[in-house]
Chains A and B, each alone.
Chain A
Amino acid sequence: MATLLEIDNLQTHFFTSAGVVKAVDGVSYTVDEGETVAVVGESGCGKSVTAMSILRLIPWPPGRIVGGAIHFDGQDILKLDEQGIRDIRGKDIGMIFQEPMTSLNPVLTIGLQLTETLKAHTDISDADANARAIELLGMVGISEPERRLGQYPHHLSGGMRQRVVIAMALSCDPKLIIADEPTTALDVTIQAQILELMKDLTKRLGVAMIVITHNLGVVARYADRVNVMYAGRIIESGSARDIYYNPKHPYTLALLKSVPRMDQVRQAKLDPVDGQPPDLAMLDGGCAFRPRCRFATDQCARAYPPLEPVSDSQSVSCWERDNLEEKAS
Chain B
Amino acid sequence: MTAPDGAVRDDAQFRGKPTDQVLVEVKDLKMFFPVTEGVFIQTEVATVKAVNGVSFQIKKGETLGLVGESGCGKTTTGRCILQLEKATSGEINYQGTDLTRLDSQELIEFRKKIQIIFQDPFSSLNPRMTIGEIISEPMKVHGIIPDATERRARVLELLTKCGLKTNFAERYPHEMSGGQRQRVGIARALALNPEFIICDEAVSALDVSIQAQVINLLEDLRDEFGLTYLFISHDLSVVRHICHRVAVMYLGNMVELADCDELYDNPMHPYTRALLEAVPIPDPDLEHDRAHKVVKGEIPSPMNPPGGCVFHPRCELAVANCSKNVPEFREVRPGHWVACTEV
Spell out A's residues near B (CB within 8 Å).
42-43, 157, 159-160, 187-193, 195-196, 214-221, 240-241, 244-245, 254-263, 265-274, 276
Contact present for B292 and A262 (CB under 8 Å): no
| Nearest CB on B from A148, distance (A) | 14
Contact present for B286 and A188 (CB under 8 Å): no
B22 interface residue per 8 A CB criterion: no
Q: How far is the CA of A270 from the CA of B208 in the complex (A)?
A: 11
Contact (A266, B13) CB under 8 Å given A188-B234, A219-B282, A260-B237? yes
Contact (A244, B234) CB under 8 Å given A160-B298, A262-B240, A273-B209? no
Q: How far is the CA of A189 from the CA of B71 in the complex (A)?
A: 13
Contacts of B11 in A (CB 8 A): 266
| Nearest CB on A from B6, distance (A) | 18
Contacts of A276 in B (CB 8 A): 177, 179-180, 210
Stretch of B132-140, B272-280, B331-339 lying at the A interface: B272-280
Q: How far is the CA of A157 from the CA of B325 in the complex (A)?
A: 28
| Nearest CB on A from B259, distance (A) | 11
Contacts of B213 in A (CB 8 A): 272, 274
| Nearest CB on B from A318, distance (A) | 17
B281 interface residue per 8 A CB criterion: yes
21 A-B pairs whose Cβ atoms sit less than 8 Å apart in the complex: A43-B207, A189-B278, A189-B299, A192-B280, A196-B292, A217-B237, A217-B279, A217-B281, A220-B284, A244-B283, A255-B208, A258-B209, A259-B212, A260-B238, A260-B242, A262-B264, A262-B276, A265-B261, A270-B216, A276-B177, A276-B210
B70 interface residue per 8 A CB criterion: yes
Contact present for A269 and B294 (CB under 8 Å): no
Contact present for B295 and A189 (CB under 8 Å): yes
Contacts of A196 in B (CB 8 A): 292, 294
Q: How far is the CA of A102 from the CA of B144 in the complex (A)?
A: 46
Q: How far is the CA of A217 from the CA of B13 in the complex (A)?
A: 24
Contact present for A261 and B278 (CB under 8 Å): no
Contact (A244, B292) CB under 8 Å given A270-B216, A272-B209? no
Contact present for B240 and A260 (CB under 8 Å): yes
Contact present for A216 and B241 (CB under 8 Å): no
Contacts of B275 in A (CB 8 A): 188-189
Q: How far is the CA of A262 from the CA of B234 in the complex (A)?
A: 12
| Nearest CB on B from A42, distance (A) | 4
Q: How far is the CA of A217 from the CA of B280 in the complex (A)?
A: 4
Contact present for A220 and B283 (CB under 8 Å): yes
Contacts of B287 in A (CB 8 A): 217, 220-221
Contact (A244, B282) CB under 8 Å given A196-B294, A262-B276? yes
B120 interface residue per 8 A CB criterion: no
| Nearest CB on B from A265, distance (A) | 6
Q: How far is the CA of A192 from the CA of B180 in the complex (A)?
A: 32
Contact present for B177 and A220 (CB under 8 Å): no
Q: How far is the CA of A269 from the CA of B178 in the complex (A)?
A: 22
CB-CB nearest in chain B for A196: B294
- The interface centre, meaning the residue of B216, B264, B283, B292 with most chain A CB atoms within 10 A of its CB, is B283
| Nearest CB on B from A67, distance (A) | 28
Contacts of B278 in A (CB 8 A): 188-189, 191-192
Q: How far is the CA of A220 from the CA of B177 in the complex (A)?
A: 28
Contact (A260, B207) CB under 8 Å given A159-B298, A191-B278? no
Contacts of A262 in B (CB 8 A): 236-237, 240, 264, 276, 279, 281
Q: How far is the CA of A274 from the CA of B177 in the complex (A)?
A: 14
B215 interface residue per 8 A CB criterion: yes
Contact (A266, B241) CB under 8 Å given A215-B280, A218-B280? yes
B238-254 at interface with A (beta carbon < 8 Å): 238, 240-242
Q: How far is the CA of A42 from the CA of B177 in the complex (A)?
A: 13
Q: How far is the CA of A244 from the CA of B287 in the complex (A)?
A: 12
| Nearest CB on A from B317, distance (A) | 16
B201 interface residue per 8 A CB criterion: no
- The interface centre, meaning the residue of B208, B236, B241, B298 with most chain A CB atoms within 10 A of its CB, is B208
Contacts of A218 in B (CB 8 A): 280
Contact present for A187 and B299 (CB under 8 Å): yes
Contact (A192, B277) CB under 8 Å given A241-B285, A261-B282? yes
Contacts of B238 in A (CB 8 A): 260
Contacts of B179 in A (CB 8 A): 276
With A216-B282, A221-B281, A270-B212 given, can you name 5 additional A-B contacts, CB distance below 8 Å?
A190-B69, A217-B279, A221-B292, A245-B284, A263-B281
9 nearest A-B pairs in the assembled complex, by CB-CB distance: A217-B280, A272-B212, A260-B241, A192-B278, A258-B212, A187-B69, A42-B207, A216-B282, A262-B237
| Nearest CB on A from B98, distance (A) | 34
Q: How far is the CA of A217 from the CA of B284 in the complex (A)?
A: 8
B211 interface residue per 8 A CB criterion: yes
CB-CB nearest in chain A for B207: A42
- The interface centre, meaning the residue of B13, B14, B207, B274 with most chain A CB atoms within 10 A of its CB, is B207
Mask of B1-40 contacts with A, CB within 8 angstroms, 1/0: 0000000000101100000000000000000000000000
B219 interface residue per 8 A CB criterion: yes
Q: How far is the CA of A8 from the CA of B242 in the complex (A)?
A: 43
Contacts of A43 in B (CB 8 A): 178, 207
Contacts of B284 in A (CB 8 A): 220-221, 240-241, 244-245
Partner of A187, one of B234, B240, B294: B234
| Nearest CB on B from A191, distance (A) | 7
Contact present for A220 and B208 (CB under 8 Å): no
Contact present for B298 and A270 (CB under 8 Å): no
Partner of A220, one of B210, B242, B282: B282
Contact (A259, B274) CB under 8 Å given A192-B292, A272-B213? no
B184-218 at interface with A (beta carbon < 8 Å): 207-213, 215-216
Q: How far is the CA of A214 from the CA of B209 in the complex (A)?
A: 11
| Nearest CB on A from B332, distance (A) | 21
Q: How far is the CA of A271 from the CA of B209 in the complex (A)?
A: 9
